[in-house]
Structure 1
Amino acid sequence: MNEFRIIEDLHRLQNQFASLWDPFVAAGGSVYPALNIHKGSDQVTITALVSGIDPDSLDITVSGNQLRLSGEVISGAPKSDLGANRVERFHGKFQRSLELPAEVDPEKTTAEFKNGILHLTLPIRESVKPRKIQVQSK
């Protein structure tokens, strides 16, 4: 029996449960992929650490203020009859869904992948942006 495989399975199960409540896993971290989300006045910017993944295997879906990111990280471990001494890097299928801080326009959303980091730029819908109302005097 490989105790490191058991630990890896427990880690995956922990991530699945954590994604139910998120708030960054009750401040303990560890959901894959790790994200940074910034909301500006015109757009939401997300960076995701997805090293070791083929960008073509990423599936990104945006609807309203919901983002779904899924894909698969292939294990880079050499094939061997020997057991692993330690496995800390995530590999396998993942799916992460989250609520964005504003409703965005999926038609204008862009995604770039460079050096293992996914950069998403999600413009905020014009219809939900704050508008200044001019007061007219009569």
Structure 2
Amino acid sequence: MAIMRWRPWGDLVSIQDEVNRLFDDSFGRIPARWIESGMRWSPAVDISENKDKIYVDVEIPGMKKEDIKVSLENGVLSLKGEKKQERELKEENCHRVERQYGSFVRSFELPMPVQADKIKASYRNGVLHVELPKAEEVKPKEIPIEVK
């Protein structure tokens, strides 16, 4: 089975790209300050597991670790943060602004209990890595069969 990247706004983004191309072809480039996105920024997330752990990887380049919060409550993993704009674009002639900024919140109900006191999170090269060790009762246990 092939793994496909989930694109919740894929069709909408395709339509937006076509409209942008149409306007660019017809009128030239439109300054970014004239366009209002209206869509909240939401970083891409990969969730996987093996027999011992659940892994969550979040693409959040350009953020500082101080601006990222990871929490677990009632079996729900929450990721919160704010990506700040490096400089304000006031009177500049922007030809294209594609990077997204602002606050985000992502929450995921975990499929099984985890050991909350052993969760580890690290951030490097723009990717947040969260490791959640599974609770002992969830791990598969192999039972030996005795031959008599």
TM-score by structure 2 length?
0.67
Q: Is the 8 A contact 1:2 1:83 kept in 2?
A: no
Kindly state the Cα deviation for residue 136 of structure 1 after the two structures are TM-superposed.
Answer: 7.6
**1:52 aligned residue:** 62
Equivalent of residue 82 in structure 1, options 92, 101, 110: 92
**2:33 aligned residue:** 2
Q: How big is each residue's C-alpha offset from its partner over 1:25-78, in whole Å with a ceiling of 9 and x where there is no partner?
A: xxxxxxx21111111000011111111111111110113531100010001244
Q: CA RMSD in A?
A: 2.5
Question: 1:135–1:64: structure 2 CA closer, same or farther, 3 Å change rule?
Answer: farther
**2:122 aligned residue:** 112
Structure 2 CA distance, aligned partners of 1:39 and 1:46?
9
Structure 2 CA distance, aligned partners of 1:125 and 1:67?
15
Equivalent of residue 45 in structure 2, options 35, 38, 45: 35
Kindly state the Cα deviation for residue 134 of structure 1 after the two structures are TM-superposed.
Answer: 5.6
| Stretches of structure 2 lacking an aligned partner (at least 5 in a row) | 1-31
Q: Percent identity?
A: 30
| Stretches of structure 1 lacking an aligned partner (at least 5 in a row) | 16-31
Matched AA of 1:103 = P
Aligned length in residues: 117
Q: Is the 8 A contact 1:71 1:94 kept in 2?
A: yes
Q: How big is each residue's C-alpha offset from its partner over 1:86-131, in whole Å with a ceiling of 9 and x where there is no partner?
A: 2221200110111223221121000111111111111001122233
Which deviates the most, 63-72 or 109-118? 63-72
Structure 2 CA distance, aligned partners of 1:97 and 1:3?
32
- Greater Cα radius of gyration, structure 1 or 2: 2
TM-score by structure 1 length?
0.72
Q: Is the 8 A contact 1:39 1:101 kept in 2?
A: no
Q: Tell whether 2:102 aligns with 1:96.
A: no
